[in-house]
Amino acid sequence: MRDHTPDFKLHELSADNKSLIRQTVQQLLEKLAGDGKLSCDSLLEFWVEVPGVKRPRGSFRGGFLMPDSFIYITDYFKCDTAEPHLLHPVSNAESGTACLEKVWTDLLDELYYQVEIFTSPLASAKGVTLELWAGNRQRPEGEWLYAVDRKIELG
């Protein structure tokens, strides 16, 4: 049996890129929660545009855009009906700020890792564009019912 796993080496994102991604994701999720649109099926999706790499965006049979990847926001933050405009961590094992920071760290570590996989063919992330969406779809691959988005260039 042959191993079809691509041979690649991950290049860790720089501290500046991680900071930019963190700031952008926090803004998107705070906007999503602030608008009262965080629900049990809310997604954080992204598309990574790598310079010089031809990888056309795919689509599902219904013609919907297929993202590079997505993360279920409610794996990290819960929908709180009492305070729907605030982000509340899923885990109550720790309390307050320490728990919230751990949840942000876990979510962002997952996102950083996925972005590093897509940027692995390059020596650096310079020129890579990262598009991020947070919101709700009819299905994971369906049309957006509500979305906030940002496009950032990594350096």
Determine the Cα–Cα distance for residues 19 and 32; give it in Å rounded to an integer. Answer: 20
Structure tokens at 108: 């962002």
DSSP letter assigned to residue 85: T
Closest CA to 113 of 51, 65, 68, 67: 68
pLDDT at position 51? 78
Q: Which tens digits make up the pLDDT trace of 40-90? A: 889 999 988 877 776 656 666 666 666 778 899 989 998 777 776 788 888
Q: Which tens digits make up the pLDDT trace of 99-109? A: 888 999 999 99
Of 6-10, 41-45, 72-76, 119-123, the poorest mean pLDDT is in 6-10
pLDDT at position 86? 81
pLDDT at position 92? 59
User: Residues 6 or more apart from 29 whose CB is under 8 A from it?
Assistant: 38, 44, 73, 77, 87, 134
Residue 36 pLDDT > 80: yes
Where do the structural domains in the chain lie, given as residue ranges? 15-153
pLDDT at position 134? 93
Structure tokens at 43: 């997604």
pLDDT at position 130? 92
CA distances from 15 to 12, 19, 58, 112, 154 (A): 9, 6, 31, 11, 11
CA distances from 89 to 20, 33, 83 (A): 22, 12, 13
pLDDT at position 11? 79
